[in-house]
Copies of this chain bind each other. A is one copy, B any other.
Amino acid sequence: MLFQNITTMDENGGTQSNRFVAIKDDRIAYIGDAAPEEDFGRSYDGRGRLLLPGFYNAHAHSPMTLLRGYGENLGLQDWLATRIFPFEDKLDGNAVYWGTLLAIAESLRFGIVSTTDMYNFCEDMVRAALESGVKMNVGRAILSFNDGDDLFSLENFREAKALYASYNGAGGGRVKVDMSLHAEYTSNPGVAGQLADYMKELGAGMHVHVSETQKEHEECKERHGGKTPVEYLASLGLFDTKATAAHCVWVTDADMEILAEKGVTVASCPVSNMKLASGVCDVPRLLKKGVNVAIGTDGDASNNSLNFIEEMKFFALGNKIMKQDPTLVTPAETIRAATAAGAASQGRTDCGAIRVGNKADLIAVDLTVPNMHPVHDLANNLVYAASGSDIRLTMVDGKTLYEDGEYKTLDIEKILFETGKATDKILKALKHG
């Protein structure tokens, strides 16, 4: 594929117009001001299009598409107890498979090429990722509610281990398996410490919820001799391999220094944190401390979409309003968080930037729509004025998976039908106890 006469945007929002970008197999093979001599197959007319790295969703629960809009305007505890947990209790592998495919269809439409995911029935999630062509960092959520638990006898850990053995590196590296301790408040020091040791031996990454709510943050300190969730997890060694800490709304300055020192990525989830009234992640301070900050959508139940351009706008605006300072969080910082920082968080060092030799994870945004005009600055327009579904093409590893509303690897009608059916089945089961 050869993108011709296209405007490119780098991972920091800088642009160059009238470029030629060629894809060979799964990688970017050529970037220049003129057409290359070599034949790269299909030509793509790039006039009126902006080519940029795809978005790397740094924290999600893909199968929760099935719970989109199920239970709104409830307090967090109510929402979890009366809606989320009972529904999730009825999920099975089939529902998770179709729910994940729905999330993948939605992701491709909104320019997401890769997702850091944590859930259950993960083999079915991986199957959906492999079939569709997207990238996924996935981990079986590990939870333990009894102090005496041994990690190795936990069913969810055994699943996590099996998942890693079967699928880490699958799909030519598209699928990576992380260890996912659900959170401090759903585990205990024994199990968490065992997991840290196991991970280090394996070289696996960590994906964990951290300081999402003030309650969680404060209760952790009470439980663990004043240690914050970051301090507690770090002390157990859970940040000694590549790690993603989701949310980090209530982290302290000292926490930020630990996150920076350990190279932990913070996956900020601005929409979910606003919608559930959890708070606003202090992105400017994290960046100042040198922390890698990426963007996550969280699950569809608390968002309720995977609209990544919209997520970027919330990311850029949340700190402005909370700190009463309109200079905070620039479009350049936002675009970097959505692309290169997200790719780095997933251990995808050859992704997230338009560079010769990098994997071709690319999206093309429509510049011909009225909301993208006039053009004082394309980075400003992308973050503040683009509409989520103005993405015309999404490519992963050099394969076009979505173009002009059409899916190349997904049967969208079947996905809508099957997710509806799976949802109805669960609702019926809930009704009948």
Question: Which residues of A (381-433) have their CB < 8 Å from a CB of B?
Answer: 381, 384-390, 412, 415-416, 419-420, 423
Q: State whether A73 touches B304 (Cβ < 8 A).
A: no
State whether the Cβ of A313 lies closer than 8 Å to any Cβ in chain B. yes
Q: State whether A73 touches B330 (Cβ < 8 A).
A: yes
Q: State whether A327 touches B75 (Cβ < 8 A).
A: yes
State whether the Cβ of A235 lies closer than 8 Å to any Cβ in chain B. no
State whether the Cβ of A303 lies closer than 8 Å to any Cβ in chain B. yes
Q: Interface-forming stretch among A20-28, A196-204, A372-380?
A: A372-380
State whether the Cβ of A299 lies closer than 8 Å to any Cβ in chain B. no
Specify which of B65, B76, B386, B412 is in contact with A326 (CB 8 Å cutoff): B76
Q: How far is the CB of A33 from chain B (nearest CB, A)?
A: 23
Specify which of B76, B102, B388 is in contact with A373 (CB 8 Å cutoff): B102
Q: State whether B277 touches A325 (Cβ < 8 A).
A: yes
Q: How many residues of A contact B (CB 8 A)?
A: 72
- A114–B79 Cα distance when bound, in Å, is 37
Q: State whether A69 touches B370 (Cβ < 8 A).
A: no
Contacts of A370 in B (CB 8 A): 65, 102, 105-106, 109, 412, 415-416
Q: State whether B321 touches A381 (Cβ < 8 A).
A: no
Q: How far is the CB of A1 from chain B (nearest CB, A)?
A: 24
List, sorted by A's number, 15 A–B pairs whose CB atoms are closer than 8 Å: A65-B373, A68-B376, A72-B380, A74-B326, A109-B369, A110-B371, A110-B387, A275-B317, A305-B384, A305-B385, A310-B310, A370-B415, A373-B419, A388-B389, A389-B389
Chain A residues with CB under 8 Å of chain B are 65-76, 79, 102, 105-106, 109-110, 271, 273-277, 279-280, 300, 303-307, 310, 313-314, 317-318, 320-328, 330-331, 368-371, 373-377, 380-381, 384-390, 412, 415-416, 419-420, 423
